[in-house]
Amino acid sequence: MSYNDSKPLKALVLCAGHGTRLKPLTEVLPKPLATILDVPLVDLAINRCVEAGVTDVAINTHHLANKMGDHVQARHHQLGVSSLHVSHETPHILGTGGALSQVADWWGDSLLLVYNGDILSNISFEQLISAHRKSKGIVTMAVTRTPPAQGRSVWVNSAGFVKAICEKKDLPPSLKVDDLRECGFACAYVAGPELRSYLPKKPEFFDVIVAFQKALTDGHQISVTFHEDIWADVGTPLALWQTNLDIAHLGEARRKSLFGTLASLQDSSIGHEFQVDQISVVSRSAIVGRGARISQSVILPNAAVAAGEVVDRSLLGPNFKIKF
């Protein structure tokens, strides 16, 4: 029996961010409720957890907490979650590490799959979980082979173990760049309960990467799985628009790797009284007037297009229109 293989598994989907970069949409919705082909990001995240075998799920909330909590409470049974825990962070957001401290009692002795609720990806949670169960490590991270444009990289040796998480200029002198692969953190990981010894005892703002760094310094093993397919941070209006259009053009198999048992709600036959090209994404809850023309655009839930209006290369929400 290995170090982690007998522990039960829970999942935490991080949903408490302010969503500042995604304004004006996040003035009325928390970012994880932004939609890809009419399906909220948080629904996609939770569905992926359930398909990987997790039915005990927590989310954290802060910005527009009632909307976030109400949505998940209403949807969790449909998404296959048998036990839902909502961790509200007040008066301040707790960050990626403080969020773990606040759910410590709920976490218990389980392994914990953690995923950002505002990231769209088809990371194999099954592979990530399996790799961690077979390891003797404290954490297993999903990483991309593409380093981040800025910020901290994950430095991995040829055996697949993390040696440092930092910017290149901050690499310890004992580590040689030529011996390591520079990777990006894919915002998903599995952690053992032992990680809590590196977190604040009481909830406070804290960066989980600091906990990873301290664990590495103490000699704990952190391993990785590589993700090389779909991954998108939809944190800006441009990214939300482009990602919707990109996903609309995926083949059926690759789209299923994202949506799983959740069928896309986009209906290509909706344009009976208005014109819409094959590139655009139009929500079923949008109101589109007769004779409108839509091209290369994303019409989000509860948005309205006037009769005869021309919408081109735009992201249209319930309270805004942005043209690219």
Burial of 204 (0-12, 13-18, 19+ CB in 10 A): middle
Identify whether 244 is part of a domain: no
The verdict on 93 and 208 lying in the same domain is: yes
* CB count in 10 Å sphere of residue 113: 25
The verdict on 223 and 310 lying in the same domain is: no
pLDDT of amino acid 251: 84
pLDDT surpasses 80 at 123: yes
Identify whether 309 is part of a domain: yes
Burial of 123 (0-12, 13-18, 19+ CB in 10 A): buried
Contact by Cβ (8 Å): 286, 297: no
Residue 264 pLDDT grade (very low, low, confident, very high; cuts 50, 70, 90): low
Containing domain of residue 223, as a range? 9-233
pLDDT, averaged across the chain: 93
The verdict on 283 and 190 lying in the same domain is: no
CATH number at residue 56: 3.90.550.10
pLDDT surpasses 80 at 310: yes
Residue 166 pLDDT grade (very low, low, confident, very high; cuts 50, 70, 90): very high
pLDDT of amino acid 1: 38
pLDDT of amino acid 268: 47
Contact by Cβ (8 Å): 304, 290: no
Enumerate long-range contacts of 287-294, CB under 8 Å, 24 or more apart: none
Residue 269 pLDDT grade (very low, low, confident, very high; cuts 50, 70, 90): very low
The verdict on 118 and 31 lying in the same domain is: yes
pLDDT of amino acid 263: 64
Identify whether 51 is part of a domain: yes
pLDDT digits (tens, 9 = 90+) for 56-104: 999 999 999 999 999 999 999 999 999 999 999 999 999 999 999 999 9
The verdict on 88 and 138 lying in the same domain is: yes
- Rg of the Cα atoms in the chain: 21
